[in-house]
Amino acid sequence: MSIDEKDKYERVLMAVFELFADARKLVPEKGADFEPVWQRLNIRAFGLDLTDLVLVVGPVPKFVEGYETKRRFEIMAYNIPLERKVTRLLKSGTKAEILEYLKNKDLPAKILAALPVMDDSLNN
């Protein structure tokens, strides 16, 4: 059973809010040795082959210049029965820049718009 667009938006919005709160508390300003913070969302009812969406704020790889203060925000979409995953980087920058990006009112719509493209990538 598929859910309507408003419900999809609200579910993604809530996951973004929760990620923002966790990232504000748990992501350090400096250092690269910390666990990424994430929010998982079951999206089986979104009408796609994807089953799960994970929003992540974490460190960038250590080969990236300035890695000590850079962070990344990415979304990962899964099809669990097929054990497939597709990832999309949405923003990299300082903790403050990531938090500001997470407050963008258009972010849930951007995430929802990316899902069909990610679904196609996963299936090809």
- Tell me how crowded residue 25 is: count the other CB atoms within 10 A of its CB: 8
User: What's the pLDDT tens digit per position in 8-29?
Assistant: 999 999 999 999 999 999 999 9
Q: Is residue 124 situated within a structural domain? A: no
Q: How far apart are CA 9 and CA 3, in angstroms?
A: 10
Q: How far is CA 20 from CA 1, 25, 66, 98, in A?
A: 29, 9, 23, 9
Identify the burial level of 42 via C-beta atoms within 10 angstroms of its C-beta, where 0-12 means exposed, 13-18 middle and 19 or more buried: exposed
Decide if 81 contacts 109 (C-beta within 8 A): no
Q: State how many domains the chain has.
A: 1
Residue 26 backbone dihedrals phi, psi, to 5 degrees: -105, -20
Please report which confidence band the pLDDT of residue 1 belongs to, taking 50, 70 and 90 as the band edges.
very low
Residue 44: give the domain boundaries. 5-119
Section 91-100 average pLDDT: 98
Decide if 23 contacts 31 (C-beta within 8 A): no
Q: Is residue 26 situated within a structural domain? A: yes
Q: Is residue 14 situated within a structural domain? A: yes
The pLDDT value recorded for residue 36 is 97
User: What's the pLDDT tens digit per position in 31-88?
Assistant: 999 999 999 999 998 989 999 999 999 999 999 999 999 999 999 999 887 788 999 9
